[in-house]
Structure 1
């Protein structure tokens, strides 16, 4: 009898099953993009706004929990409609509560996809990078030396897609605590902007218009965000200058 066969049988399934969560997320993302992109829209929100407001007024706690749960699913499975959800938070709950609910839901969803990716593909890639001796390993070491700053920048720079900022850190093995911390704080500026747009959404709908998400790129909005980006990059710049002086 082969004494190693039970061990092999128990190892292979566990090695395979750890990829299942990320595989499910990717499949759901594709299915969701195909089936939901025409439903998770501002038109749907406009058509159902009176029913949503009535339900919110009658069941504010349940509406809040349902909103957070739906937004969590949208982020965790990278479904279309994250911007619509953020604006809806302001439309239903106002600036303060809406921002809070948006940050909570988006952060939980981001952490879920991070953990799923790290448990599967991320663990494999991190191990391969660790045993390599090339540029990739040096890049990983540079990232780990500036983890907080890099993660903050990924959250603050509007040009970085949200799902990329969720997946990429998991694939290169960053610490979960740093990821969670920078996610919660880093998405607050953008969440405030989108929630703010949602606060005035009723008037926009009454005029027959659609929300202007380009507000994020207005100088008075993008200016402070770029300022935060500069602050996030400052520790890396200081380290680089000190390193050159030591050389």
Structure 2
């Protein structure tokens, strides 16, 4: 009789994807920082535009694949990639390509982290007591709000927002939805900047990325943050009144 028992994957095999991501990210941080620059984009802009005009579908596929890999491996150049999406494909559909590619990359690193470490950490948090358990329960009760918040707040690094939900037992579908819509405001701003790069390059200038902190841009984003945090605030207020 054939043996039908299944052998569980070894812990090191499960951790291999996230280890590969960490190694590539470390190497990329030292080797690609000079390559991922506005000077590189400016020097190659004519060739990129020519390729887009001659092979639009291939250009979209190549761009989105590159962007997704940048996100997966946390490589330098995510902001530059967003600007490039606007430069090559204008505000729309450029912003759609940017958000979709970033979400695909975020899902990939989420799955790698969960497969390697997330399930074990989530189980430990569920079995823990005291402060750790209370933090875990607080996040579980407000997952939608917390997930949107970490995407909307400009101060939260993108790779942190990718990894933390994987360690907290967040469902994949909820993570994907909040990532796609949560990064859209910031992507819209930088894609619009990218759409005007042609004129900037023609004048030999560098785009002003501090626009994200301009009041007319930052205040609406902070308003969205407050809206996302509203359920948490209301729960806290009701909890105090019930004490």
**Number of equivalences:** 239
Counterpart among 50, 57, 78 of residue 54 in structure 1: 50
Matching residue within 158, 161, 164 for 2:160: 164
Distance 2:206 2:133 in 1: 47
CA distance in 1, matches of 2:117, 2:34: 31
TM-score by length of 2: 0.95
1:245 Cα shift? 2.1
Q: Equivalent residue for 2:223?
A: 227
Map residues 8-157 of structure 1 onto 2, 5 A cutoff.
10-11=7-8, 13-157=9-153
- Cα distance in structure 2, aligned partners of 1:203 and 1:224: 27
CA distance in structure 2 between the aligned counterparts of 1:211 and 1:76, rounded to whole angstroms = 26
- Provide the rounded CA distance (Å) in 2 between the counterparts of 1:102 and 1:18: 30
Report the Cα offset of residue 110 of structure 1.
0.5
SS at match of 1:19: helix
Alpha-carbon distance in 2 for matches of 1:22, 1:237: 35
The runs of 5 or more residues in structure 1 that have no matched partner are 1-6
Q: Which residue of 2 aligns with 1:3?
A: none
The correspondence for 1:184, drawn from 173, 180, 185, is 180
| Counterpart secondary structure, 2:52 | helix
Superposed displacement of residue 10, structure 1? 3.8
Question: Residues of 2 paired with 1:180 and 1:136: CA distance?
Answer: 25
Tell me, which stretches of 5 or more residues in structure 2 are unaligned? none
| CA distance, structure 2, for counterparts of residue 24 and residue 15 of structure 1 | 14
- Residue 213 (structure 2) aligns with: 217
* TM-score (ref. length: structure 1): 0.94
How big is the shift at 1:16?
A: 2.2
**Cα distance in 1, alignment partners of residues 56 and 38 from structure 2:** 22
Cα shift at 1:131: 1.3
- Mapped partners of 1:222, 1:164: distance in 2: 21
- Structure 2 counterpart of 1:200: 196
- Residue 246 of structure 1 deviates from its aligned partner by 2.2
| CA–CA distance in structure 2, aligned partners of residues 107 and 69 of structure 1 | 12
CA distance in 1, matches of 2:140, 2:17: 25
